[in-house]
Amino acid sequence: MNFGLKKLGFGFMRLPTLSSGEVDIEQVKEMVDLYIDNGFNYFDTAFGYLDGKSEDILRQTVVERYPRNSFLIADKMPMWEVSSKDDLERIFNTQLERTGAKYFDFYLLHSLYEGTFKKAEKFGAWEFLKQKKEQGKIKHIGFSFHDDAKCLDKILQTYNDCQFVQLQINYADWDSETIQSRLCLDTAKKYDMPVIVMEPVKGGSLSALPENARKLFKKSEPNWSIPSWAMRFATTQDGVALVLSGMSNVSQVKDSIEIFNDIRPLTNEQMGVIGEVVDILNSTPTIKCTNCQYCVSDCPQQIPIPEIIGLLNRYNTYLNISGPKRSYGWSVEGTGKASDCIACGLCEEHCPQHLEIIKALKESAKVFED
């Protein structure tokens, strides 16, 4: 089942801004009009996107300007904001009010992993979604996911009436030990579960590749944009119902429309070119963190060390400087920063890979905080 969707979804997460820092509403309207005029209709938002403004901007640029039955809205329950059953109702009603949507076509438990899955179970979040579906306030229920394939299998066994799952699928993370794009997609396919793809361009990183990687792509397909390779890779995979694009300006909308109006599976030869690019990316020296989390258990400063190391690796691998820096701010919100490290050495004592974590945190503080 693919819900009859055209494969390009519009993510309301990275919208254009003015010099004042406010979202450029008029440009967003132009982007929305271009997207809808070309036959696409799936808009993805969330409670916390754009510091809580995304849902309201969706109301202004889409809901108040088009008939409700002419577009689809996906929204999400932010499990990190939930500390009681009452929070589920409060947040959901806030989202209905912010968007003016009346109902959600697709609704997700946002960012499930082992920890938030347990929290969802504790507060009956999945049962809450089913109740809202019965009331007609949600058409399709699912969840977005950030963990390994084993955890995904466990959740899909538990939520056997789930209708779709949103996964991070891109060629750079295809065989990643932490993201496990391939394994997670295979797990979803085992349950015949339609997949919505997020991060197909890895937060913009796959549009800013090293020059030798760019040359490989341009030699193979001179008329294709660099990010289009990532979008085409995602749509080539079996079981994918839709691919989300966090478009940030009119030109990106035009490029995405051009790609998806003529979307075809990649050939074996083109997949081989992607394999060569991945080899280039993997050859960049990185800190071989496996995200085992042993280093964080006794950290007196509560620093999210694996997340920070992952962002440092991304910063050093890709030419996209703003993405990792922006993500760093989110990762350390409410917890310890890299510069808070007191070099006690407990993290390095616990690290099975014997990594120089203190050195990595010093470099991260210089890169992300200076």
DSSP string, 331-342: HTTTS--GGG--
Distances (CA, A) of 356 to 20, 137, 286, 315, 317: 41, 51, 12, 18, 19
In this prediction, residue 321 carries a pLDDT of 64
154 burial level (CB within 10 Å; 0-12, 13-18, 19+): middle
In this prediction, residue 13 carries a pLDDT of 92
Cβ neighbours of residue 113 under 8 Å, at least 6 residues apart? 145, 146, 147, 151
| DSSP codes of every residue in 153-166 | HHHHHH-TT--EEE
| Whether residues 239 and 301 fall in one domain | no
80 in a domain, yes or no? yes
| Whether residues 103 and 214 fall in one domain | yes
288 in a domain, yes or no? no
Q: How many domains does the chain have?
A: 2
283 in a domain, yes or no? no
| Whether residues 226 and 144 fall in one domain | yes
In this prediction, residue 203 carries a pLDDT of 81
| Whether residues 89 and 223 fall in one domain | yes
What is the C-alpha R_g of the chain?
21
- Closest to 194 (Cα-Cα) out of 234, 166, 168: 166
The CATH number assigned to the domain holding 146 equals: 3.20.20.100
Write out the residue range of the structural domain in which residue 113 sits. Answer: 8-276
In this prediction, residue 367 carries a pLDDT of 93
In this prediction, residue 2 carries a pLDDT of 66
| Whether residues 238 and 98 fall in one domain | yes
Question: What's the residue count for the chain?
Answer: 370
287 in a domain, yes or no? no
Q: Profile the chain (370 residues) by mean pLDDT over runs of 10 residues.
A: 86 94 96 98 95 96 98 96 96 98 98 93 98 98 95 98 97 91 98 96 87 96 95 96 95 94 93 97 86 88 94 84 80 93 95 92 94
| Whether residues 83 and 176 fall in one domain | yes
Cβ neighbours of residue 61 under 8 Å, at least 6 residues apart? 25, 28, 29, 32
Measured between alpha carbons, how far apart are the two ends of the chain, in Å?
Answer: 49
| Whether residues 228 and 348 fall in one domain | no
| Whether residues 255 and 357 fall in one domain | no
The residue type at 231: M
